[in-house]
Structures are given as structure tokens and as C-alpha cells.
Amino acid sequence: MAESDGVDSAGAPEKAFYVTTPIYYVNDAPHIGHAYTTVAGDVLTRWHRQRGERVHFLTGTDEHGEKILRAAEANGMTPQQWCDHMVESAWKPMLAAIDAANDDFIRTTELRHTGPVQQFLRVLHDRGEVYEGTYTGPYCVACEEFKLPGELLQPGDRCPVHDRPVEQLSEENYFFRLSAYQDRLLAHYRDHPQFVQPDSARNEVVRFVESGLQDLSLSRSTFDWGVSVPWDSSHVVYVWIDALQNYITAAGWGSDPQRFAGLWPADVHLVGKDILRFHAVIWPAMLMAAGLALPTTVFANGWLLVGGEKMSKTKLTGIPPQRITDHFGSDAYRYYFLRELSFGQDGSFSWESMAQRYTSELANDFGNLASRLTSMVERYRDGSLPAPAPEPALAGALEKTVLLADDRMCAMDFQAGLAAVFDYVRLVNGYVTDSAPWVLAKDPARAADLDRVLYATAESLRALAVLLNPVMPKSCARLWTSLGAEAALGPLAAQRVQDAGRWGLLQAGSQVRKSEVLFPRLPDDEPAP
Ligand code: MSP
């Protein structure tokens, strides 16, 4: 697909590559565990955008349910006031701090969501998927989920995710016939191996469904902060049933069929591993029940750990993203989390490893390469880029790097994708050191060699700016401008990953300007915050 105008040859909107994050509970402020999934989603969509695809990136907030109601009460506000306050003062600023370029932000208290949620419930009801019954069981308010007695930590019947005592709930509710979907779900997992990723998550889901499914309570009647059940206003829709639908309501289901056709099914739902069952079991069963297409992939990422445990606000271990971005900048933040952790596995953040990667990989390897090259072209060639010349040692490696990085980033193996790109950065640094352009510059007879080295280094940086732009958009835009590439190649956003490995795209005479330092040195004496 070429850089797209979003319309196919028949004039219908081309389906976008549609990526979602979980919608976040607004009972509390965000920490880097929440931001982790959002950074991954943002990089994934920017990567596909850089491939010339039409993309759509959705994130948002989950605003109903008992947990939010209790937080609002504790803060002396109405639930709606509390949600408005948290979205504006905490959640949207977090997105700005990590430089997320989401195309939409859905709030579950918006009418464009609540109306269609009621319609969806009616569809399930009309299709005979809902019945009235009673359920008694242990409930964790922090998870907003009934637990299976066998899952609880002992002593004291504690939630395995939050390590807090569960509450016994007994309710007359409406139920969704989830148990009827066991075979269809298992068939879907079997026929679509990419549906749940990574493999460890897939195996867990298959085992869980094989062990049998219970019907799911889809309403609550003990409080009223939620979407009211359309045929019985004494009940509100269970917050998870309401929340999962954000992926279709934001895409226009129930309000804008054309928009919906251009977005659904989602290509990737990114979720934390603790909410995998909701997305890989309950959600597809709900979609099947309503006769809608299933998302292509549910990818479960691991947790950020502190002292071996899931980072959490409840346990006062949550670090706000801004504490890190204020110190290192958003580009380094985005790079660090994707390079340091293996997506899909648990991992830890530390100030030391963040500072170490910043200094050695970003400031020394990448940033220095850019400033070395741009200042040499200024000094030796008056800022005018020499003519393209072949450099097989770099060109072949670059082509392979682009293919490998594209393959890994599309597979959401961000760590390997970035490792491949930074292997190339180191190769080019070695090439510059070995070619010693500062020596060549002293010998007029070697002018052609100097031209070749300068061009090859600039051309490598041109490709690096394209490959790293989805991860570090601010620095790459600056690098692009300082390479003088704008005029020759058009705006950065138009540069496709697939073309990044073509040698000779930078044109002779491009005006190269010494770049401002991309990653300033960290003050030595400043202690980690
Ligand atoms: N509101 C639900 C999701 C509904 S999606 C239809 C919810 N919200 S949450 O705010 O509690 O969590 C949102 C996401 O943040 C989850 O994917 C969760 O895994 C993730 N994380 C919360 N703490 C985390 C870490 N310490 N590490 C990584 N991700 C973690 O669940």
C-alpha cells in the first residue's frame, strides 16, 4: 500500500490498522505501568504509519463501577466530577508527557459510548443470550471481578492480583451465556494461532477455557454508577461488559456504520496480562453473540515490577511517567521501555539502567554520530552534501537491518527491532572511526574518499531517522532537518520504512546543518530523582 489517502480504488474507506490500549480506571493517577502499554501502542501505530498505512490508535478511560464511585466519594465529588477532574488533570497530561499520538480518546461516560452500549445489550437480550439469575461469590473491587474460590491467596481469601481480602457478593443479576461459547472459542484459538499472543498467554487462555466456563453476571443492582440496563433501570451494566465495548463504540458501532466499516475489526488489542481473560475469552464471546467480527490479535504484555511485585498505586510503588520524562525527555523514555524489556515478559525499571542506556546508546552512539557527521559536512564541505556514492559495506547491512527491524516491530518484538537498529548505529560508528575522515580531510588527494565517507554516514543517518522516528519522533525530526533531507525527500512522515534501506536517497547538495545535541549529557553530579 502506498502512502495512502485513506480511500481504496472503489472509493470505500480503506480499513485502517486499528490498535487499542486498555481503557484506564480513573480512580487514581497513572504510573509507568499504565504508560508502558500506551507507549507500545503508540510506537506500533507510528511504525505502521511510517509504512504508509492508514492507522488508528485508540486509548481512553474506564469511568464506571464501584471502584470509581468509592474514589469519588472519598474525594468529596460526584463520580462525574471526579472522572472529569482525573481525565483532565492526570490522564491526558500523561499522554502528552509520553508524546502519544492517539487518534481518539474514549471516555465510557460519553454519550457516544453509553447509547451504543445499551443497544449492544439489547442485541444480546433479543438474541436470547441473557437470562436472570443469582450469583454468590468472592469479588475483588480493585479488579472489579468475581474470583474463583480456587484462585484466592491464603490465609484470608486475598485477591491474587491485589493481595487484598475479597468481599462476598450475592446478587440477583442478568447473566450472559458465556458457558455456551467454550467450543467456539477453542475452535477460534485453534484456527487463529495469532489471536492470543505471546504463546505463553495463548496457552494460559486455552487451558482456562478447556477447564470450563461459567456464565457471566453482566449487571449490578447494589449501586447505580454505570450504564443502565435498557430493559430494567434498576440495574447498571457490569463495568467490564461496558468497558470492553469501548473498542467498538469508539469505532462507530451503533452510531456511524461507515466509520465502523473503516476500522473494525481491530488489528491489535494491547492489554496487560492481568486482563487477558476479559479480552481473550469474554470479549470474543460477546462479539460472537452479537454477530460481530473478532479482533485479529490480543497481545498481553508483562508487568513492570518493583521489588519483584507488580508496580501499583495501591501499594505506593507507582512512579508517575512525568518523573522520568522530566529528567530524560519523552524520546528516551519511549526508547528505554521498549529496548530494555521484552514485551510480553515481566521486567523491572531502574534509574541506573535508564541512565546507562541514555548515555551509552542515545547520547554516545546515536546522538554523537549525528553531531559528528553534521559538523564534519559543515567544516569540510561547507554544509553541502557530496554526491551519492556506493558503499557496499554499509549498504548491504542497512538493507538487512531494515528488513529485520520491520519484521520485528510488526511482530511487536520491539526489543529485537530496536536492537537491530542499534547494531547498525554501532556499525556506522565503527565505520566512521575506521575511515578517519579527519585524516582524509588533511589530504586533498583523498577528497573523493572523504566525500564517500561523508555521504555514506549521512545516508545511514537518513535511514536511521526513518527507522527511529516511530520511537523517538522529536529527535528524529531534528535530525531529519539537520540532514537537509526535507527539501530533497519531502516531509518525514512521508518516508516509508520499506524504502529506508534504499541507498542513495539523499541528494547531492542537500544543506546539512550541525544538529543541536540530540541527547544532552546528563549532569554527572545530579543524583537519580
Ligand atoms: N479498566 C480496566 C481495563 C479495561 S479495558 C476494556 C483496567 N484498568 S487499569 O487502569 O487497572 O489497568 C489498565 C492496564 O494497565 C492493564 O492492562 C494493566 O495490566 C496495566 N498495568 C497496571 N499496572 C501495571 C504494571 N505494573 N505493569 C504493566 N502494566 C500494568 O484494568
What's the CATH code of the domain at 476? 1.10.730.10
In a domain, 463, yes or no: yes
In a domain, 471, yes or no: yes
* Best of 37, 247, 341 for a ligand 1 pocket test (most atoms within 8 Å of beta carbon): 37
Instruction: Give backbone dihedrals phi and psi of 398, rounded to 5 degrees, phi first.
Output: -65, -45
d(CA 368, CA 391): 21
Spans of the chain, pLDDT less than 50: 1-9, 487-490, 525, 527
pLDDT tens sequence across 137-165: 899 988 888 888 788 999 989 998 888 99
d(CA 283, CA 277): 8
d(CA 39, CA 223): 35
Cross-strand partners of 18 = 56
Is 140 marked active-site?
A: yes
Of 31, 48, 67, 273, which residue is the catalytic one? 31
In a domain, 346, yes or no: no
Distance from the CA of 316 to the center of ligand 1, in angstroms?
16
Q: 218, 130 in Cβ contact below 8 A?
A: yes
Angle between helices 414-435 and 447-468 (to 10 degrees): 170
Ligand 1 pocket, CB under 6 A: 22-25, 33-34, 36-37, 62, 243-244, 246, 271-272, 274-275, 303-304, 310-311
Average pLDDT, the chain: 93
Q: Where in the sequence is the domain holding 381, given as residue range(s)?
A: 355-499
Strands 228-229 and 268-272, how do they pair? unpaired
Is 313 marked active-site?
A: yes
Measured at the alpha carbon of residue 518, what is the angle toward residues 385 and 91, in degrees to the nearest 5? Answer: 135
Q: In ligand 1, which atom is closest to the CA atom of 22? A: 5
pLDDT at 485: 76
Is 159 marked active-site?
A: yes
d(CA 475, CA 522): 16
Cell, residue 229 = 440496563
In a domain, 390, yes or no: yes
Distance from the CA of 277 to the center of ligand 1, in angstroms?
13
Cell, residue 274 = 492481568
Query: DSSP assignment, residue 289?
Result: H
Q: 81, 38 in Cβ contact below 8 A?
A: no
In a domain, 257, yes or no: no
In a domain, 143, yes or no: no
Q: 164, 171 in Cβ contact below 8 A?
A: no
Q: Which of 310, 311, 332 is nearest to 320 (CA)?
A: 311
Distance from the CA of 62 to the center of ligand 1, in angstroms?
11
In a domain, 371, yes or no: yes
Of 159, 269, 273, 476, which residue is the catalytic one? 159
Is 48 marked active-site?
A: no
Coil, strand or helix: which one is 153?
strand
In a domain, 364, yes or no: yes
pLDDT at 2: 32
Q: 493, 412 in Cβ contact below 8 A?
A: no
pLDDT at 307: 78
* Best of 31, 34, 162, 303 for a ligand 1 pocket test (most atoms within 8 Å of beta carbon): 34
Of 143, 273, 279, 476, which residue is the catalytic one? 143
pLDDT at 6: 45
243: enclosing H helix or E strand:
helix 239-244
Angle between helices 32-50 and 321-328 (to 10 degrees): 60
d(CA 212, CA 180): 10
Q: In ligand 1, which atom is closest to the CA atom of 62? A: 1
Distance from the CA of 95 to the center of ligand 1, in angstroms?
15
Question: In angstroms, what CA-CA distances link 123 with 233, 286, 287?
Answer: 17, 10, 11
pLDDT at 222: 86
Is 279 marked active-site?
A: no
Q: Which of 436, 429, 202, 421 is nearest to 300 (CA)?
A: 202
**CB neighbours of residue 221 within 10 Å:** 14
User: What is the domain count for the chain?
Assistant: 1
Distance from the CA of 146 to the center of ligand 1, in angstroms?
17
Coil, strand or helix: which one is 294?
coil
Q: In ligand 1, which atom is closest to the CA atom of 142? A: 11
Q: In ligand 1, which atom is closest to the CA atom of 271? A: 17
pLDDT at 176: 97
Instruction: Map grid coordinates 498505586 to a residue.
Output: 313
Coil, strand or helix: which one is 344?
coil
pLDDT at 489: 43
Distance from the CA of 184 to the center of ligand 1, in angstroms?
27
Q: Which of 47, 103, 49, 125 is nearest to 259 (CA)?
A: 103
